[in-house]
Protein backbone atom coordinates (compact mmCIF):
# COMPACT_ATOMS: atom_id res chain seq x y z
CA UNK A 1 0.00 0.00 0.00
CA UNK A 2 0.98 3.64 -0.29
CA UNK A 3 2.18 4.76 3.12
CA UNK A 4 2.53 8.24 4.55
CA UNK A 5 3.02 10.12 7.78
CA UNK A 6 1.20 13.22 8.88
CA UNK A 7 3.15 16.46 8.80
CA UNK A 8 3.64 18.30 12.07
CA UNK A 9 0.91 20.66 13.21
CA UNK A 10 3.39 23.53 12.99
CA UNK A 11 4.23 22.75 9.37
CA UNK A 12 0.57 22.41 8.47
CA UNK A 13 -0.28 25.72 10.12
CA UNK A 14 2.58 27.33 8.23
CA UNK A 15 1.20 25.98 4.95
CA UNK A 16 -2.28 27.22 5.78
CA UNK A 17 -0.97 30.77 6.20
CA UNK A 18 -3.82 33.27 6.50
CA UNK A 19 -6.57 30.86 5.49
CA UNK A 20 -9.71 31.39 7.54
CA UNK A 21 -11.81 28.54 6.27
CA UNK A 22 -10.29 25.17 5.47
CA UNK A 23 -11.64 21.85 4.28
CA UNK A 24 -9.63 18.92 5.62
CA UNK A 25 -10.06 16.10 3.11
CA UNK A 26 -9.16 12.53 3.97
CA UNK A 27 -8.94 9.45 1.80
CA UNK A 28 -10.60 6.16 2.64
CA UNK A 29 -8.05 3.83 1.09
CA UNK A 30 -4.27 3.45 1.65
CA UNK A 31 -3.82 6.33 4.10
CA UNK A 32 -6.76 5.08 6.13
CA UNK A 33 -5.16 1.67 6.46
CA UNK A 34 -1.83 3.21 7.53
CA UNK A 35 -3.59 5.54 9.98
CA UNK A 36 -2.27 8.73 8.38
CA UNK A 37 -5.20 10.29 6.55
CA UNK A 38 -8.51 8.53 7.04
CA UNK A 39 -11.70 9.77 8.64
CA UNK A 40 -10.34 9.36 12.16
CA UNK A 41 -7.14 11.28 11.43
CA UNK A 42 -9.13 13.98 9.65
CA UNK A 43 -11.21 14.40 12.81
CA UNK A 44 -8.23 14.54 15.14
CA UNK A 45 -6.24 16.94 12.97
CA UNK A 46 -9.26 19.19 12.42
CA UNK A 47 -9.83 19.47 16.17
CA UNK A 48 -6.17 20.23 16.72
CA UNK A 49 -6.23 22.94 14.05
CA UNK A 50 -9.32 24.54 15.56
CA UNK A 51 -7.83 24.57 19.06
CA UNK A 52 -4.35 25.70 18.09
CA UNK A 53 -5.54 28.45 15.76
CA UNK A 54 -7.93 29.67 18.47
CA UNK A 55 -5.13 29.72 21.03
CA UNK A 56 -2.90 31.57 18.55
CA UNK A 57 -5.56 34.23 18.13
CA UNK A 58 -6.27 33.48 14.44
CA UNK A 59 -9.17 31.05 14.57
CA UNK A 60 -9.63 28.85 11.51
CA UNK A 61 -13.01 27.38 10.64
CA UNK A 62 -12.32 23.77 9.74
CA UNK A 63 -14.71 21.40 8.00
CA UNK A 64 -14.08 17.72 7.43
CA UNK A 65 -14.71 15.27 4.64
CA UNK A 66 -13.34 11.87 3.71
CA UNK A 67 -13.83 10.38 0.26
CA UNK A 68 -13.36 6.75 -0.61
CA UNK A 69 -10.42 7.44 -2.94
CA UNK A 70 -8.93 10.86 -3.53
CA UNK A 71 -7.01 9.61 -6.56
CA UNK A 72 -10.05 9.04 -8.78
CA UNK A 73 -12.22 11.68 -10.38
CA UNK A 74 -15.47 9.90 -9.63
CA UNK A 75 -14.87 10.03 -5.91
CA UNK A 76 -13.74 13.66 -5.72
CA UNK A 77 -16.18 15.16 -8.20
CA UNK A 78 -18.99 15.36 -5.59
CA UNK A 79 -16.78 17.83 -3.64
CA UNK A 80 -16.88 20.36 -6.45
CA UNK A 81 -19.97 22.27 -5.37
CA UNK A 82 -18.78 22.97 -1.86
CA UNK A 83 -15.18 23.97 -2.59
CA UNK A 84 -16.05 27.61 -3.28
CA UNK A 85 -16.76 28.02 0.46
CA UNK A 86 -13.13 27.46 1.41
CA UNK A 87 -9.87 29.35 1.20
CA UNK A 88 -7.87 26.15 0.82
CA UNK A 89 -8.20 22.39 1.02
CA UNK A 90 -5.84 20.46 3.26
CA UNK A 91 -5.57 16.94 1.90
CA UNK A 92 -4.58 13.98 4.02
CA UNK A 93 -4.34 11.74 0.95
CA UNK A 94 -1.06 10.63 -0.58
CA UNK A 95 0.71 12.84 -3.11
CA UNK A 96 -1.44 11.39 -5.89
CA UNK A 97 -4.62 12.46 -4.14
CA UNK A 98 -3.27 15.96 -3.50
CA UNK A 99 -2.38 16.34 -7.18
CA UNK A 100 -5.69 14.89 -8.29
CA UNK A 101 -7.47 17.58 -6.27
CA UNK A 102 -5.33 20.39 -7.70
CA UNK A 103 -5.77 19.05 -11.23
CA UNK A 104 -9.51 18.56 -11.01
CA UNK A 105 -10.24 21.76 -9.07
CA UNK A 106 -7.65 24.27 -10.31
CA UNK A 107 -9.44 27.26 -8.77
CA UNK A 108 -8.62 26.23 -5.23
CA UNK A 109 -5.27 25.22 -3.80
CA UNK A 110 -5.09 21.81 -2.17
CA UNK A 111 -2.21 21.54 0.30
CA UNK A 112 -0.54 18.33 1.48
CA UNK A 113 -1.06 17.34 5.10
CA UNK A 114 0.99 14.18 4.93
CA UNK A 115 4.38 13.15 3.64
CA UNK A 116 4.01 10.21 1.28
CA UNK A 117 6.87 7.90 2.09
CA UNK A 118 6.76 4.50 0.45
CA UNK A 119 5.10 1.43 -1.04
CA UNK A 120 5.16 -0.66 2.07
CA UNK A 121 3.98 -3.80 3.77
CA UNK A 122 2.41 -3.71 7.23
CA UNK A 123 4.64 -6.36 8.78
CA UNK A 124 3.01 -6.00 12.19
CA UNK A 125 0.57 -3.64 13.87
CA UNK A 126 2.07 -0.16 13.60
CA UNK A 127 5.10 -1.14 11.48
CA UNK A 128 5.32 -0.60 7.71
CA UNK A 129 8.38 -1.68 5.77
CA UNK A 130 9.19 -0.62 2.24
CA UNK A 131 8.95 -3.42 -0.29
CA UNK A 132 8.80 -1.79 -3.74
CA UNK A 133 10.13 1.35 -5.38
CA UNK A 134 8.05 0.98 -8.54
CA UNK A 135 11.15 0.60 -10.71
CA UNK A 136 9.05 -0.41 -13.72
CA UNK A 137 11.08 -3.54 -14.55
CA UNK A 138 10.40 -6.05 -11.81
CA UNK A 139 13.20 -8.48 -10.99
CA UNK A 140 11.43 -10.42 -8.25
CA UNK A 141 11.29 -13.39 -10.62
CA UNK A 142 15.07 -13.78 -10.49
CA UNK A 143 15.57 -12.74 -6.85
CA UNK A 144 13.25 -15.28 -5.28
CA UNK A 145 10.60 -12.72 -4.45
CA UNK A 146 12.81 -10.30 -2.51
CA UNK A 147 13.40 -6.87 -3.98
CA UNK A 148 17.02 -5.70 -4.08
CA UNK A 149 15.92 -2.26 -5.25
CA UNK A 150 13.79 -1.49 -2.21
CA UNK A 151 15.56 -3.68 0.33
CA UNK A 152 19.30 -3.61 -0.45
CA UNK A 153 20.74 -0.32 0.79
CA UNK A 154 22.99 -0.16 -2.29
CA UNK A 155 20.47 -1.54 -4.76
CA UNK A 156 22.92 -4.23 -5.79
CA UNK A 157 21.75 -6.52 -8.58
CA UNK A 158 24.40 -9.24 -8.61
CA UNK A 159 24.88 -10.43 -5.09
CA UNK A 160 25.91 -8.85 -1.82
CA UNK A 161 28.42 -6.11 -1.27
CA UNK A 162 30.52 -8.11 1.13
CA UNK A 163 29.72 -6.02 4.15
CA UNK A 164 26.87 -8.10 5.46
CA UNK A 165 27.48 -9.48 8.94
CA UNK A 166 25.30 -12.11 10.55
CA UNK A 167 22.55 -11.50 8.06
CA UNK A 168 22.20 -7.77 8.61
CA UNK A 169 23.07 -4.87 6.34
CA UNK A 170 26.33 -3.05 6.93
CA UNK A 171 24.58 0.26 6.33
CA UNK A 172 22.12 -0.27 9.17
CA UNK A 173 22.11 -3.31 11.45
CA UNK A 174 18.37 -2.97 11.93
CA UNK A 175 17.89 -3.95 8.26
CA UNK A 176 18.19 -7.56 7.16
CA UNK A 177 20.67 -7.91 4.29
CA UNK A 178 18.46 -8.29 1.22
CA UNK A 179 21.02 -10.51 -0.48
CA UNK A 180 21.24 -12.76 2.54
CA UNK A 181 17.46 -13.13 2.34
CA UNK A 182 17.68 -13.83 -1.39
CA UNK A 183 20.42 -16.41 -0.88
CA UNK A 184 18.48 -18.10 1.91
CA UNK A 185 15.41 -18.39 -0.33
CA UNK A 186 17.51 -19.77 -3.20
CA UNK A 187 19.04 -22.25 -0.79
CA UNK A 188 15.61 -23.27 0.47
CA UNK A 189 14.60 -24.18 -3.07
CA UNK A 190 17.99 -25.72 -3.89
CA UNK A 191 18.49 -23.23 -6.72
CA UNK A 192 21.59 -21.30 -5.65
CA UNK A 193 23.15 -21.81 -9.09
CA UNK A 194 20.58 -19.40 -10.50
CA UNK A 195 22.16 -16.62 -8.47
CA UNK A 196 25.55 -17.33 -10.01
CA UNK A 197 24.33 -16.14 -13.40
CA UNK A 198 25.56 -12.59 -13.87
CA UNK A 199 22.62 -10.36 -14.62
CA UNK A 200 22.96 -7.76 -17.37
CA UNK A 201 22.57 -4.11 -16.44
CA UNK A 202 19.04 -3.46 -15.32
CA UNK A 203 16.78 -1.51 -17.62
CA UNK A 204 16.29 1.71 -15.71
CA UNK A 205 14.55 3.25 -18.70
CA UNK A 206 11.24 2.24 -17.20
CA UNK A 207 12.08 3.69 -13.80
CA UNK A 208 11.51 7.10 -12.27
CA UNK A 209 14.15 9.16 -14.02
CA UNK A 210 13.20 10.88 -17.24
CA UNK A 211 9.80 12.26 -16.37
CA UNK A 212 6.47 10.83 -15.31
CA UNK A 213 5.64 7.37 -16.57
CA UNK A 214 2.39 6.50 -18.19
CA UNK A 215 0.49 3.33 -18.92
CA UNK A 216 -2.02 3.36 -21.74
CA UNK A 217 -4.27 0.32 -22.18
CA UNK A 218 -6.01 0.81 -25.50
CA UNK A 219 -8.29 -2.14 -24.78
CA UNK A 220 -9.67 -0.33 -21.73
CA UNK A 221 -10.09 3.13 -23.21
CA UNK A 222 -13.50 4.47 -23.96
CA UNK A 223 -13.71 5.13 -27.67
CA UNK A 224 -16.50 6.66 -29.70
CA UNK A 225 -18.52 4.12 -31.64
CA UNK A 226 -18.37 4.66 -35.38
S1 LIG B 1 12.02 -4.99 -8.67
FE2 LIG B 1 11.08 -3.01 -9.05
S3 LIG B 1 8.88 -3.41 -9.40
FE4 LIG B 1 9.78 -5.27 -8.48
S5 LIG B 1 9.40 -5.04 -6.28
FE6 LIG B 1 11.44 -4.16 -6.68
S7 LIG B 1 11.14 -1.98 -7.08
FE8 LIG B 1 9.13 -2.99 -7.20
S1 LIG C 1 24.87 -5.60 3.37
FE2 LIG C 1 23.35 -6.59 2.05
S3 LIG C 1 21.57 -5.20 2.00
FE4 LIG C 1 23.30 -4.04 2.85
S5 LIG C 1 24.16 -2.99 1.09
FE6 LIG C 1 25.32 -4.94 1.33
S7 LIG C 1 24.25 -6.41 0.03
FE8 LIG C 1 22.87 -4.67 0.28
Q: What is residue 223's predicted lDDT score, i.e. its pLDDT?
A: 74
Whether 115 and 19 have beta carbons less than 8 Å apart is answered as: no
Atom index in ligand 1 nearest the CA of residue 139 equals 1
Torsion sign across C-alpha atoms 137, 142, 144, 146: negative
Q: Using one digit for the tens of pLDDT, what is the confidence trace for 17-57? A: 999 999 999 999 999 999 999 999 999 999 999 999 999 99
Atom index in ligand 1 nearest the CA of residue 136 equals 3
Nearest Cα residue to atom 3 of ligand 1: 138
The CATH number that domain 2-118 falls under is: 3.40.50
Q: Give the number of whichever ligand sits closest to the CA of residue 202.
A: 1
SS3 at position 65? strand
Q: Average of pLDDT values for 129-142? A: 97
pLDDT band per the 50, 70, 90 thresholds, residue 94: very high
> How far does residue 176's CA lie from ligand 2's centre (Å)?
8
Distance CA 167, CA 23 (A): 48
Distance CA 211, CA 213 (A): 6
Query: Above 80 in pLDDT, residue 224?
Result: no
Whether 67 and 42 have beta carbons less than 8 Å apart is answered as: no
Percent of the chain's residues with pLDDT above 70: 99
Lowest mean pLDDT among 53-57, 110-114, 203-207: 203-207
The pTM of the full predicted model, rounded to 2 decimals, is: 0.92
Atom index in ligand 2 nearest the CA of residue 180 equals 2
Q: Give the number of whichever ligand sits closest to the CA of residue 170.
A: 2
pLDDT, averaged across the chain: 96
Q: Give the number of whichever ligand sits closest to the CA of residue 149.
A: 1
Query: Above 70 in pLDDT, residue 138?
Result: yes
Q: Average of pLDDT values for 87-104? A: 98
> For the chain, where do the domains classified as CATH 3.40.50 start and end?
2-118
Nearest Cα residue to atom 1 of ligand 1: 138
Amino acid sequence: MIVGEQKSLEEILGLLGDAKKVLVAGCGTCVTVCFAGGEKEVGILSSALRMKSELDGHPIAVDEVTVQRQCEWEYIDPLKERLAEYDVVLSLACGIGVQAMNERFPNIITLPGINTTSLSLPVEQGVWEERCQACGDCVLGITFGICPIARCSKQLMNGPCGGSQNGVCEVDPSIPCAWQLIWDRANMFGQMERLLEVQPPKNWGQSRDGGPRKIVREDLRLTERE
